[in-house]
Chains A and B, each alone.
Chain A
């Protein structure tokens, strides 16, 4: 039975290093996905994720289980991502080189590469508030209430932003859709 995040944090604060390692292994994937989608920079994701957990390690003693651990962790990740974005002035992440399995159908691989690159370009074009809510809602599966607590923005505003983000993506990815659908079939 897996321990809850709060319990792991409590054990870690009492000196159990394995509890911290368990937290890292549990959350490194979601954090990396969030950073990759939000920053549109796949090359720097590993370093950014490492930095997020370093900040978590240093901020651990001040942790208060008032809200969900995931909200606290993504607050750290969001602050770091915003700092990085501010440093770069504009998001200009290199597009990722997707590694697909060798036994995949070549035609599907090419189509998937194109689709993935198109998605990244479309995400990079989104304004930051829209991209943030889209990433948290779609990729992290957070509820609007959780996102509201994380971003300190009303849920109704977030819903509008999410709808606007989907609308913009539908326009951006519309040209790609037929090919992608063909590749799917």
Chain B
């Protein structure tokens, strides 16, 4: 056993083994270290220990108080948690929403407005069957014939109508000329009556 091992064992305060005792007997330096450490240990032991007596009555009383305090805290916590859960549930049910929109605080609840459904368009045309197409073609032909016949009829009638209208227009024009001539004659007579003989070339 060397000095380093010896001093380590001495510092640890281990049991005095035979190799340790032999080394201490042979090494005055390690023996001096041992004496110093023993002195330190004796001095540490010299300080009297405090005498303490735990007051059990006070301990039980304090434990009861702390238990009551803990229960009150737990109850408060339970109430707070219940209230928070209720608020959360209400917010979820009402779909409560707070958001910032266009420099305004928006508070809303309820379902968002449903998107406007586009009006249904006209039903898609059905592909006509061959029989239907043939019937339509026949109907179209008959209509063309009828229109052709009516056009001839309507042309004669329109000619008569136009002739009648022309006659009426000639009659109205003649009537109008007659009335205009009479109006001019009356006007000249009145002018002469008021202003005398008319100057040559002068017209009213």
Contacts and interface: CB of A to CB of B under 8 A. Distances in A.
Interface in A97-153: 98-100, 112, 115-116, 118-120, 137-139, 144
Contacts of A99: 48
B40 A54 contact: no
B50 A45 contact: yes
A162 interface: yes
Interface string B15-42: 0000000000000000000001101111
Given A21-B56, A49-B52, A54-B59, A162 B12 contact: yes
Contacts of B36: 170
Q: Bin chain B's interface residue count.
A: 20 to 34
B52 A32 contact: yes
A50 B60 CA distance: 11
A49 B40 CA distance: 27
A169 interface: yes
A10 interface: no
B12 A33 contact: no
A166 B8 contact: no
Given A57-B59, A166-B37, A170-B40, A159 B48 contact: no
A46 B46 contact: no
Nearest to A118: B43
Contacts of A33: 49-50
A180 interface: yes
A66 interface: no
B11 interface: yes
Contacts of B43: 115, 118-119, 169, 173, 176-177, 180
B47 interface: yes
B62 interface: yes
Nearest to A28: B54
A177 B56 CA distance: 41
Contacts of B40: 166, 169-170, 173
Contacts of A24: 54, 56, 59
B58 interface: yes
A65 interface: no
B102 interface: no
Given A29-B49, A112-B46, A173-B40, A159 B11 contact: yes
Interface string B57-92: 011101100110000000000000000000000000
Contact of A100 (B8, B48, B56): B48
B62 to A, nearest CB: 6
B91 to A, nearest CB: 38
Interface of A: 21, 24, 28-29, 31-33, 36, 42, 45-46, 49-50, 53-54, 57-58, 96, 98-100, 112, 115-116, 118-120, 137-139, 144, 159, 162-163, 166-167, 169-170, 173, 176-177, 180-181, 184
Given A24-B54, A119-B46, 17 more contacts: A29-B51, A29-B52, A36-B50, A49-B52, A49-B54, A50-B59, A57-B59, A57-B63, A112-B46, A115-B47, A116-B46, A120-B47, A138-B13, A138-B41, A170-B37, A173-B40, A176-B43
Interface of B: 7-8, 11-13, 36-37, 39-44, 46-56, 58-60, 62-63, 66-67
6 contacts: A28-B54, A32-B52, A46-B52, A50-B58, A138-B41, A177-B39
